[in-house]
Structures are given as structure tokens and as C-alpha cells.
Amino acid sequence: MQAPLPPIDFKAELNDEQYAAVTSEPGPALVLAGAGSGKTRTLTYRVAYLLHQGVQPYEILLLTFTNKASREMLERVEELTGINGRQLWGGTFHSIAQRILRVHGDLVGLQRNYTILDQGEAEAILKNVIQTIDSKFIKTKNNPKPKVVADMISYARNTCREPREEADERYPFLDGMADKVDKFYKAYKQAKLDQQVVDYDDLLEYFLKLLREQAEIREQYQARFKHILVDEFQDTNRLQSDIVDQLAGHHQVMAVGDDAQCIYTWRGADFDNIMQFEVRHPGAEVHKIETNYRSSPEILGFANAVLASQPSGLGFSKELRAIKPSRERPYFVPVMDTRGQAKFIIERIEGLVDEGRNLSDIAILYRAHFQAMDLQMELTRLKIDYQITSGVRFFEQAHIKDFTAQLRFASNPADVSAFARFTCLLPKVGPKTAERIHKFTRERAAKLEKNFCDVLVSPEVLKKVPADAKEEWPSLAETIREVSAALTERAPEEIIQLALDGWYSSYIREIYPNWTDRADDLQSLVSFANRFETMEELLAQLVLLASESNERSPEEQQNCLRLTTIHQAKGLEFPVVFVIGLADGTFPLKRTIDAGDLEEERRLFYVAVTRAEEELYMSYPMLNNQGNQVMRLNPSRFIQEIDPSRYETLRVAPTRRY
């Protein structure tokens, strides 16, 4: 018999909104927990409340998006109730799926000893399948590489579409691509089944198949899990919401989330899941938790105004209310350009430190990685310690280093390591092959008394290139030759643009699923190059910046400035937040404006401003310097929509004249 639980005064420990959700009657419930409103507290107290009502631990299923979230919630439940968290069924959708498939997988064709593939292993099987079906596919220029095909198939599966539809949408200009991807997908599926291995998407698909096709199993788990709680419901994809629907046939389900923070549709999250919850679970109670414990009233007033600009009926209406005392209004800061932006931010950071802030109190958020390039350079120059939590530093990224290697080599053909860096991107070219090609070209150039880069495009050199790389070699070699020839005649920004228009731009399209983000990063190097007189200066700076490390010990992180994309900042909070690049075309990004994805961009802006606890600065670069062109930028439409009384415009002196 279970020991009596320690008493909890739910009324005293929760606010009225949280208490209403936590103590709601069994049945379907949608809890709309606004930013900073105590979502995790509400969920954990709901579990504790159910246990206090006599529900057995094993009758509760808690579904989360990360193992960390699951672990933290179960630990908190243990603290509150004394019941070991392992007695509850808590975990990510994938972990719960694999646990149930270990027992019943044979009903959908899986033996109990099936193994789970990591991403690299799954891609290796797919690559092998592609080569077996069409040996020329991977080698053919313009065709997506296996990693991109894998990403396309995975996105289709998570959104419950056929991979052929996704291929048709992404590659309408490549004849027969949809049919090929369809064949690859079917063969990939069979190959995994033959080997009794599964990828991450299989776990969800097989679990859903089991619940849909095996009524006895479905009813068994519906009877077992009398209460289902789902965290971050706005981030669920179609597969996950269908799994919830199958398990919650009894409608004893509580979904917790915030439609205003749905920012992952590009990863497969379905905004309709949270919006249609009441349709899928009739009679659902909707609880709004709008008391915010994070931000000042002025920041929340601004955040509420961001949501109020949504087209009517698109999201649930909500109004965050502050508990914290009043402070200054958010600041909107027009600056001359991205260098002026960096100068303003650093001066303000120095002021904040003088006022007693730690660097770790401050975060700088941006829509895309390249927007923080100038800031990173200036922080490095001034030796202000910072950490990037959304990946490596800008100049450390693989595509920046690959591209820089081409410039380095065109400038100095004796640089064998730079030559190996980009030639090894071609199939079947390793370091030794690269060295052999370099040696042959060098000797041939000396014999003919010609420039190395001119000889690189010759038929003799092409003969030394492995067969699999022969198709791409002429384009690569011609790009290097053109860049080399331009070094003495053109300005650095023109040389960068010339290199960008060459081989590497088509290479990244085939190799990276997120090639558009990488193309934006590379394009930003044009305006970066504009500030240098010579390529020697530019290359020296690129190499120095690329040698910076982003690794920090826990002690160093204690007083370290945080730079991150907004997507990576979700769930975090900081006393002081800077949101940079607030010009139309950079936030919202131009391609999202063109694609009509404005509402997700607006939600992303809402997530950005609600990270701030006490001070919020939003900077707007008025000019964009692209090569010899200076373009005037408009303030972000998300700022223009808001009543100016909600913020204070801060004027800063320009850094230089144009």
C-alpha cells in the first residue's frame, strides 16, 4: 500500500489561474500558458494533484519534447510528493514510443531486439539505397545529396505527407525527382525492416500504426493511461498530435502550450494542432494563465501590442499581466548601419557593467546568424568574452571556412591546406588525392611557365581527378581561376561576389538542407569585405576570426555575454535583452515576406521580446551596405505596427558618414 503523501496547500502555492487549471475536473483541457507564466509549475502541480486525488503513478503519462524537460518535471514531482519519478510514465514522444514498441513491435513487423539508428547511420543506409537504385544520382550535378534527401523525407513523414509531394514542391525544376525520391523512400523503408533497425521517425510512425491498427493494444493503453499531459503542445507535429488523439480516446488529456510561441513550423510543428484542440476533443475547458513573473509591465505592454497586431482570429486572445514593479519602457534604437549597431551595443554593455550588471545578465538575440557578424568582430577586438549558444561563432562555421579557403588559395596557390579544404568537398577526394593533384598542377605550371590557377582548369589536371569528382571539377577550377585573375583588378567586395556566383553556391544547395541560411551568411561577406582596401587585409581578418573558439568552461560561462538566435533562446530569460537587426527584410527576413510566412515571424518577435526581464533594447540599422551600393532600410513592420507610446526612441550619434 502506498504511503500517505505529504500535504500540499495547492491554493496557497499557486495563483488563481494556475489553481483553476491544476484542480480542473478530469476531461479534456487546453492550458494556454503565456510566456513567463509558470507553465512547468502548472504541469508538475497537476501531476501532484492527480496523485493526491488517488490516481496511481502508472496511470499518468507525461509527454515532453526534451529529456531534460521530462527529467526536471519528474524530479519536481518527486520533491512535492515523495513518489519516485520512475513510477510515472514520463518522457519524450520518441522514448515512450520505443518503450511500447519493445513490447508490441512484433504486431507491426518489429522484433523486440530492433536497434535505433542515429542520424549518421540512417543517412548511410539511405545513401546505399540511392546508389543501388541509381548509381549516377549522387554524382549528377544539381541533384540533392543524401543528407538533403533524408531531410526532405523526414519532413514529409513528420507532417504526414508523401515524400514524393515534398520532392515535387522543393524540386519542381528537376524532371522525375518526385518518382525517384518515392523509390528511394520505399527501398529505404524496406532496407531498415530487413535489418530490423529504425530511425527516429520510424518510432513515431510504428507507434501510431500500432495504435491505429491494433484496437486491443490501443484500448489497453487508453485504460492504463487514465490521465495524459502534454507539454509544449504548440510544437507538436501531425504524427505526435495523432498519437495523442489515439491514446486519449477517453479525452482525459491536458495539453499545455502557447500558440503565440509556435515558431518551429519549418521543422514540422503544426500550428493547427493547438488551434483545433477543442474540435478534436469536444467540450474541452480552456484555461488561460496570463500572470507573468518574468518581465516588467512596460515590456509586457509592448509584447501584448505585438500579439494585438495579428490578424483577428489567427490565435487565442491573451493579455499578459505583470507582477514585477514598473521600469523604463523598451528602447527602439535607430543606428546608421550594422557597425553603428555594434558600437551602440558595446557602449551600452559597458554602461550596464558600470551599473553593476554581470555580462551573463545580458543576451543579444538575432533572427539569423550573419546579423551578429559585426558585433562578434567588435567583441573579439575589445576582448569582451561572449558565448554563442546557437552553434559556433560566425567565422568558425564550416561553410564560411570552406569559402574562405577558396579565397586564401586563389590569393596564394602554394597554400596546400587551403586547397585540400575545398577540394576534399568533392566525392572521392581525400587529403592525399588533393595533395597529389596540387603537386601535379604545381609542376605542370612550372614547366609551362604558367599561373597555377590557369593550369588548374586544363584537361591534363582533370585526368588526375577521381571519376566521381570529374563533373564538378571544371566549375570549381574555373571559379578559382576567375577569383585569382580578379585579385589585382577588383575591389575585395567584388571579388567576394564573383566567388559567391561560382561553384560553391550550387554546391551548398545540393549538400545542406538549410542552404538558404548559409547562402545568407555568405552573402553578408560582401558588405564585410567593403571595409577593407586589399584582399590581404580581408583574408588576415577572416583567418584570425575563424581561430576564435566558442568553448567555455562552466566557470567562464558564469560571466559571459550570451549571443544566440531567437529560436535557440526560447525558454530562456535574461535581465537585459538586445534584439538586433530590426529592419524590414532582416526581421522579418525577406524570404519569409516573399513566402507569406509573416505570422510565424511575428510570433518569433514576440518570443524575442518576452525573454527580457528588466531592460529591452531593439536596434534598427537604417542602411545596408552591399558592395558599392548603400540601400536605405525601413524599420521592421513589427515595430511600425505598434503605438510609439509603448517604447522610447533612442537617438545615437552616427559612427561615420557616407
Q: Which grid coordinates belong to 231?
A: 507539454
Catalytic residue, from 123, 205, 232, 584: name it. 232
455-480: per-residue pLDDT in tens?
999 999 999 999 888 988 999 999 99
Nearest to 466 by CA among 129, 131, 139: 139
Q: Which whole-number Å values give the CA distances from 286 to 207, 303, 315, in the listed order?
A: 29, 22, 13
Predicted TM-score (pTM) of this structure? 0.87
Length, in residues, of the chain = 658
Asked if residue 217 lies in contact with residue 206, where contact means CB atoms within 8 angstroms, the answer is no
State residue 658's pLDDT score: 31
Residues annotated within a binding site: 33-40
Q: 3-class DSSP state for residue 368?
A: coil
State residue 175's pLDDT score: 81
State residue 547's pLDDT score: 61
Q: What are phi and psi of 285, to 5 degrees?
A: -80, 140
Active site residue 232: yes
Instruction: Collect all residues with Cβ–Cβ distance below 8 Å to 354 and sequence separation of at least 6.
Output: none
Catalytic residue, from 17, 201, 205, 231: name it. 231
Catalytic residue, from 240, 261, 433, 565: name it. 261
Active site residue 261: yes
Q: Measured in whole angstroms, how far is the alpha carbon of residue 307 from the centre of its chain?
A: 22
DSSP string, 431-453: HHHHHHHHHHHHHHHHHHT--HH
Residues annotated within a binding site for ATP: 33-40
CA dihedral angle for residue 297, residue 301, residue 306, residue 311, rounded to 10 degrees: 130
Catalytic residue, from 17, 18, 39, 371: name it. 39
Which amino acid is present at 126? Answer: L
Active site residue 463: no
Number of CB atoms found within 10 A of residue 142's CB:
11
Instruction: Collect all residues with Cβ–Cβ distance below 8 Å to 512 and sequence separation of at least 6.
Output: 147, 148, 399, 518
CA dihedral angle for residue 330, residue 632, residue 601, residue 561, rounded to 10 degrees: -50
CA dihedral angle for residue 509, residue 510, residue 512, residue 515, rounded to 10 degrees: 10
Active site residue 231: yes
Q: 3-class DSSP state for residue 264?
A: coil
Active site residue 443: no
Q: At what angle do helices 398-411 and 473-486 cross, to 10 degrees?
A: 60
Sites in the chain below the pLDDT cut of 70: 1-3, 390-392, 544-558, 626-628, 654-658
Q: 3-class DSSP state for residue 210?
A: helix
What is the C-alpha to C-alpha distance for residues 72 and 8, in angstroms, rounded to an integer?
A: 19
Please identify which residue in the block is written with the cell numbers 530569460.
573
Active site residue 40: yes
| β-strand partners of 365 | 564, 579
State residue 654's pLDDT score: 67
Q: Which whole-number Å values give the CA distances from 244 to 159, 237, 277, 298, in the listed order?
A: 15, 11, 11, 38
Catalytic residue, from 238, 280, 611, 646: name it. 611
What is the C-alpha to C-alpha distance for residues 400 and 230, in angstroms, rounded to an integer?
A: 40
Asked if residue 402 lies in contact with residue 537, where contact means CB atoms within 8 angstroms, the answer is no
589-635: per-residue pLDDT in tens?
988 888 888 999 999 999 999 999 999 999 999 998 765 678 899 99
